Amino acid sequence: MTEGLIALAAMLLVAFGRVPIALAMGIVGVVGYAYMRDWNWTIAFAMVQGKLYETGRNYTLSVVPLFILMGNFVTRAGMSQELFRAAYAFIGPLRGGLAMATIWACAGFGGICGSSIATAATMAKVAYPSMKRFGYSDRLAVGAIASGGTLGIMIPPSTIMVIYGVFTETNIGKLFAAGILPGILGATLLCLGVQYVIWRDPKAGPPGERSSWRERWASLRDIWPVAFLFLFVMGGIYGGVFTATEGAGMGAFGAMAFALWRRALNWKTLYAALLESARTTAMLFLILTGALVFAEFINITAMPNDLRDFVSRFELHPIYVVAAICVIYVILGTAMEELSMILLTLPVFFPVVVHLGYDPVWFGILIVCVVEIGLISPPVGMNLFVLKTLLPQVSTGTVFRGVMPFMLADCVRLALLVAFPIIALWLPGMMR
């Protein structure tokens, strides 16, 4: 176990020295692997070569660029505006209605995007001007957008779920199904967070304009492409018609068809979508490869077995162990990038969770939930930086204070998922 702890400390020191996290994990993994093999560098580099080859030829990982491409097509097709208008038509007249409409629009957009950052960035452009026009406070506006954006990685499709599934050999289709109810629960609790802010400061979220029922039904007709694309992809995966990889391909093609139908796609925007998808995919694959190299080193140390023995020796209740793991993730999320945090810790924590008899699908949903908290956790939550970049007139302190009630709402959801695993496991249990 000593070698594993030293490697973790060394990796963090290298990362804090401004070395990219992917390279930090890879460097420490190679050096540690060579050390465990009596400083045989030939074996260590052969291991790296094998991991690079396996990652590049992994058919399941083709889901990642396809879902990223699907999200880029959807963003350029302008579907986020229709979702926001539909949500606003029904709940906009309520106090805080625009903020709640933003959250539900984020949930709908996340069902066809799969990226938290893209969801938050898109809704910042769509929803923030409307909220400011009706006199919403900056704290409530940015808090709703930042927290609502995190739903993009819980409601499937989700790149985080795909990488977790590949890393732990967990069924990706079941992970997608498991994220639906926790995603709806998360959106509901975030809306309660909006109401809490309104209760504390009624002027923070004044009511919007009331829409007629005719306008409401008309707004629903505008979002049929979003509903169709989500039901087509997830219904096909859930019903066993095609695999998650095939569903990603169908979803990307469907999103491109909708973008063409709306005349939102030309050669220039197509090139931009492909280039952005390639850059994002390259970044994710580099982090994944570095994490796999580091995990290979951790696996040949005694650290996973020692942790299992530690838990067994003290006869700790399994739920206490899971709660402690969740607390560690939340703390790490305030100082580390989310994907790197997951891939760094999974080789240590996942064997312990499986040893305790917990379902890997359920643990995957917990991981996504703590990542959502990390995305809006000061000081390094990615969604916070996205909003600060897009809304330079809003101070950093306002952004940090605005997300606090919504972080609490996400922590409540995390506690509910730990206490009632059926929330995440009911739908996967019904899959064929």
Q: Which of 175, 140, 171 is nearest to 154 (CA)?
A: 175
Assign 243 to helix, strand or coil. Answer: coil
- The tokens for 373 are 């908290």
Q: Identify the burial level of 83 via C-beta atoms within 10 angstroms of its C-beta, where 0-12 means exposed, 13-18 middle and 19 or more buried.
A: buried
Per-position pLDDT tens, the chain of length 432: 577 677 777 877 877 777 777 788 888 888 888 888 888 888 888 888 888 887 777 777 788 888 888 878 877 777 777 787 788 788 878 888 888 988 998 888 877 777 777 788 878 888 888 888 888 898 999 999 999 988 888 988 888 888 888 888 888 888 988 999 999 999 999 999 999 999 988 888 887 777 777 877 877 777 777 778 888 887 887 777 877 788 888 888 888 888 888 888 888 888 888 898 888 888 878 878 887 888 788 777 766 666 666 666 666 677 888 888 888 887 777 666 677 778 778 888 888 888 888 899 999 999 999 888 888 887 767 788 788 888 888 888 888 899 999 999 999 999 999 999 999 999 888 865
pLDDT of residue 372: 87
- The tokens for 280 are 């994002």
pLDDT of residue 305: 64
pTM beyond 0.85: the answer is no
User: Could you give the CA distance from residue 252 to residue 237 in angstroms, rounded to a whole number?
Assistant: 14
CA angle (377 as vertex; 371, 383 as ends), nearest 5? 75
- The tokens for 198 are 């309104």
- DSSP E strands, 193-289: none
User: Could you give the CA distance from residue 27 to residue 25 in angstroms, rounded to a whole number?
Assistant: 6
**Per-residue DSSP letters for 119-135?**
HHHHHHHHHHHHHHHTT
User: Look-up: residue for tokens 């390094």?
Assistant: 380
Question: Is residue 233 within 8 Å of residue 247, measured between CB atoms?
Answer: yes
Cis peptide before 379 (omega within 30 of 0): yes
pLDDT of residue 83: 80
User: Could you give the CA distance from residue 412 to residue 432 in angstroms, rounded to a whole number?
Assistant: 31
**How many CB atoms lie under 10 A from the CB of residue 223?**
18
Q: Which of 189, 180, 107, 137 is nearest to 416 (CA)?
A: 189
User: Could you give the CA distance from residue 387 to residue 122 in angstroms, rounded to a whole number?
Assistant: 10
pLDDT of residue 261: 85
Residue 20's identity, in one-letter code, is P
- The tokens for 50 are 């094998």
DSSP structural state of residue 96: T
DSSP structural state of residue 70: H
User: Could you give the CA distance from residue 218 to residue 99 in angstroms, rounded to a whole number?
Assistant: 21
Q: Which of 113, 108, 105 is nearest to 67 (CA)?
A: 113
